[in-house]
Amino acid sequence: DADVTQTPRNRITKTGKRIMLECSQTKGHDRMYWYRQDPGLGLRLIYYSFDVKDINKGEISDGYSVSRQAQAKFSLSLESAIPNQTALYFCATSAATRREQFFGPGTRLTVL
Amino acid sequence: GDSVTQMEGPVTLSEEACLTINCTYTATGYPSLFWYVQYPGEGLQLLLKATKADDKGSNKGFEATYRKETTSFHLEKGSVQVSDSAVYFCALRNSNYQLIWGAGTKLIIKP
């Protein structure tokens, strides 16, 4: 079974729609992250959370919001999707005392 | 600010060729350095890491040495296989515990 899961894996939506991407983990890690990946730009951090009560903005948080419902769940929302939010979105986790991040399989989002 | 620069791809090689993917960084202090690999249709996974100067990370035949004097962490493999075809990302972990990523280098290995 995958340690970090993301749903949905693919989503096509229209401009102006509200979208939620979900991430769950069974690794027991406190820290969770949301990234987006664009061709030629690597990964850019959207939001991160060090525990349920700690949410922090990353490099590119505008247009996004997050919710840490439990230690194991971290959701990313696009309140009003726009075409330049078309990208591959990754959730990741890490333990507080280690440096490695573990990634989910990604969600491919297309905004028309 | 902190940054990572890696060579642009795609890099196309024949099977059993030698591989080097260059990575240089800019950061204050002493960051940890990583190489992640992304196989087609999958998420990223850690390939190797080094946490201090002169450390050598290695895994699956890949190696990279933390060179503080040249601020580099080049990825090398002596003999690549078709199964090594993937996108490779260099990254550093800065003093704020954030990962800063390079743009990724696509590697294509032809039989």
Work out the pLDDT band at A2, boundaries 50, 70, 90: low
Q: How many H helices and E strands in chain A?
A: 0, 11
**Residue A97, pLDDT score:** 58
CA distance linking residue A62 with residue A65, whole number of Å? 8
Q: What is the pLDDT along chain B (111 residues), one digit of tens a residue?
A: 889 999 888 999 999 999 999 999 999 888 999 999 999 888 899 999 999 999 999 999 999 999 999 999 999 999 999 999 999 999 999 887 788 899 999 999 999
Residue A61 scores a pLDDT above 60: yes
Question: How open is the CA angle B23-A104-B63, to the nearest 5 degrees?
Answer: 30
Mean pLDDT computed over A37-62: 91
Q: Which of B42, B51, B89 comes nearest A42 by C-beta?
A: B89
| Both structure tokens of A97 | 């005392």
**Residue A98, pLDDT score:** 61
**Residue A103, pLDDT score:** 92
Q: Cα distance from B88 to chain A (closest Cα, Å)?
A: 10
Work out the pLDDT band at A1, boundaries 50, 70, 90: low
| Both structure tokens of B46 | 């850690």
State whether B98 and A45 contact (CB < 8 Å).
Answer: yes
Residue to mutate among B46, B99, B105, with most A CBs inside 10 A, is B99
State whether A103 and B44 contact (CB < 8 Å).
Answer: yes
**Residue A28, pLDDT score:** 92
State whether B98 and A48 contact (CB < 8 Å).
Answer: yes
N-term to C-term CA, chain A = 33
Within 10 A of B102 (CB to CB), how many other CB atoms are there? 26
**Residue A78, pLDDT score:** 96
CA distance linking residue A99 with residue B30, whole number of Å? 14
CA distance linking residue B47 with residue A100, whole number of Å? 10
Q: Which of B43, B49, B103 comes nearest A104 by C-beta?
A: B43
Phi, psi (degrees; rounded to nearest 5) at A19: -130, 140
Within 10 A of A58 (CB to CB), how many other CB atoms are there? 17
pLDDT, tens only, A11-46: 999 999 999 999 999 999 999 999 999 987 789 999
**Residue B42, pLDDT score:** 85
Find the closest chain A residue to B44 by CA distance.
Answer: A103
Q: Which of B41, B44, B102 comes nearest A90 by C-beta?
A: B44
State whether A43 and B101 contact (CB < 8 Å).
Answer: yes
Chain mean position to CA A69: 13
